[in-house]
Amino acid sequence: MNLKEEKYNRYALVREMMETPAIVKAFDPGVAAKFADAAKSRKGLFLTGEGSSRIFPAKRAIWASLKWDFSKPLTTEGSTQAEEYNLKDFAVFAASNSGQTKEVIRLATALKKKNHGAVFGLTANPKTKLEEIADGTHVLKCGKEDAVAATKSVVEQGMFYDALLRKIHGVKMDGLKEFAEKTEEALTLKIDAGITDIIRKASKIYFAGRNTGVAEELALKTNEITRKKSDYLEGTFAVHGIEEVMDKSEVLIWIEPFAAEQEKFNECLVKGVGMNIIAVSTKKTMFPTIIIPDGGEYAEYVQLAAGWNILVETGISLGIDLDKPERARKVGNEYLAE
């Protein structure tokens, strides 16, 4: 994927994806400081939102918090279900690019009525309903997205949470220049035409991998970009029963496969079902593999960028207008003032 060829640069989706490295490089971790100070007095953090505003940013943050052994409890849930929870001891961070997502507005309003006092917004637009309700709001610097599928904003949301956690726990956030370079490398990798052809012909695209938000977010992007059905199979779920209903017309894209489980996936899915497995990894695997740069402590962002690249190549090979889905909307469920 690149901006030199008309088949790519004609789409806002691709242009916005390719803005991501510059956004990464210019990111100021200091934007999270005042929110970190406010969150320290609470027992934990609750990250909410809908769709892309929650899947990768929140789940990557939870994964990183557990991996880094951060002490502050961190959890996530969709905003409607969150209304059923007792969140009085949590600093609540509500992400909505539009600042107008109905479920998010409803939760923020309910918490405000309870005098919660620590509900913070994360949006890509200023002067929104969420900003009006929240106790404090950070507006992303990435700018408005014209494409329906959220991309650059997802990365900046993730980086905000990254900066927030590090600030709370006194860990410096650096290495952004190299992080940006690795992201650009992942976005511009040449995807083997044979691999694109396998994905293009698949009747359904599964994504497997760690519960970091990467594979799950790519499953959603598959619907929006390739218009194919997809599903996220967490961890090793792919070999725990679902193989009964899989068939050889489907494909599984495995993000950074577990070394210890590759033989089992091969036995159950490749040999048993007859389907293809494509790996996305920093090293070779026993499957056809798209080798990506090692992003180190920012590896998940690089994996996500590589996934975007794969999906764009697939969508273009299918002759799809990447910017104009038939049913999907930029704001899935928009708040309308009564």
Report pLDDT digits (tens) over 36-69: 998 998 999 999 999 999 999 999 999 999 998 8
pTM listed for this prediction:
0.96
Is residue 222 domain-shared with residue 79, that is, in the same domain? no
Q: Is the pLDDT assigned to residue 336 strictly greater than 70?
A: no
Q: Identify whether residues 194 and 170 lie together within a single domain.
A: no
Q: Is residue 182 part of a domain?
A: no
Residue 38 resides in a domain: yes
CATH code for the domain of 202: 3.40.50.10490
Task: Give the structural domain span for 209.
Answer: 190-291
In order of 57, 66, 80, 140, the CA distances from 167 in angstroms are: 16, 16, 29, 18
Q: What digits encode the pLDDT tens for the residues 124-133?
A: 999 999 999 9
Residue 39 lies in a domain: yes
Determine the average pLDDT of the residues in 21-32.
Answer: 98
Judge if 11 and 84 occupy the same domain: yes
Q: Among positive and negative, which fits the CA dihedral 96, 100, 106, 109?
A: positive
Q: Could you tell me if residue 26 is inside a domain?
A: yes
Q: Which residues are CB-neighbours of 252 under 8 A, at least 6 positions away?
A: 205, 206, 207, 208, 233, 238, 265, 269, 275, 276, 277, 278
What local confidence, expressed as pLDDT, does residue 148 receive?
87
The one-letter amino acid code at 326 reads E
Contacts of 169 (CB under 8 A, 6+ apart): 68, 70, 71, 72
Q: Is 27 exposed, middle or buried (0-12, 13-18, 19+ CB in 10 A)?
A: buried
Q: What is the mean pLDDT of residues 317-337?
A: 77
- 116 and 12 in a single domain? The answer is yes
Is residue 268 scored above 60 in pLDDT? Answer: yes
Cα–Cα nearest to 51, from 101, 87, 17, 121: 101
Domain boundary among 145, 174, 203: 174
Domain boundary among 149, 174, 199: 174
Tell me: do 168 and 228 sit in the same domain. Answer: no
Residues 140 and 224 in one domain: no
Both 144 and 67 in one domain: the answer is yes
Identify the DSSP state of 198. Answer: H
- pLDDT score at 90: 97
Of 128, 143, 174, which residue constitutes the final position of a domain?
Answer: 174
| pLDDT over 90, % of the chain | 91
Domain annotation covers residue 299: no
Q: Determine the Cα–Cα distance for residues 211 and 76; give it in Å rounded to an integer.
A: 13
pLDDT averaged over every residue in the chain: 95
With respect to residue 214, please indicate whether it lies within any of the assigned structural domains.
Answer: yes
Are 163 and 67 contained in the same domain?
Answer: yes
Query: Do 201 and 147 sit in the same domain of this protein?
Result: no
Same domain for 197 and 156, yes or no, is no
Q: pLDDT per residue over 179-205, tens digit each?
A: 999 999 999 999 999 999 999 999 999
Give the count of domains, the chain: 2
Compute CA distances 242 → 36, 212, 223, whole Å.
42, 21, 20
Q: Note whether residue 16 is domain-resident.
A: yes
Same domain, 213 and 251: yes
CB 69 within 8 A of CB 97: no
Please tell me whether residues 27 and 118 are part of one structural domain.
yes
Between CA 70 and CA 11 the distance in angstroms is 40
Is residue 101 in some structural domain?
yes
Which pLDDT value is given to residue 201?
97
Start-to-end CA span in the chain (Å): 44
Per-residue pLDDT band for 329 (boundaries 50, 70, 90) equals low
Mean pLDDT score, 75-87:
97
If pLDDT is split at 50, 70 and 90, which confidence band does 320 have?
very high
Q: Is 145 helix (H, G, I), strand (E, B) or coil?
A: coil
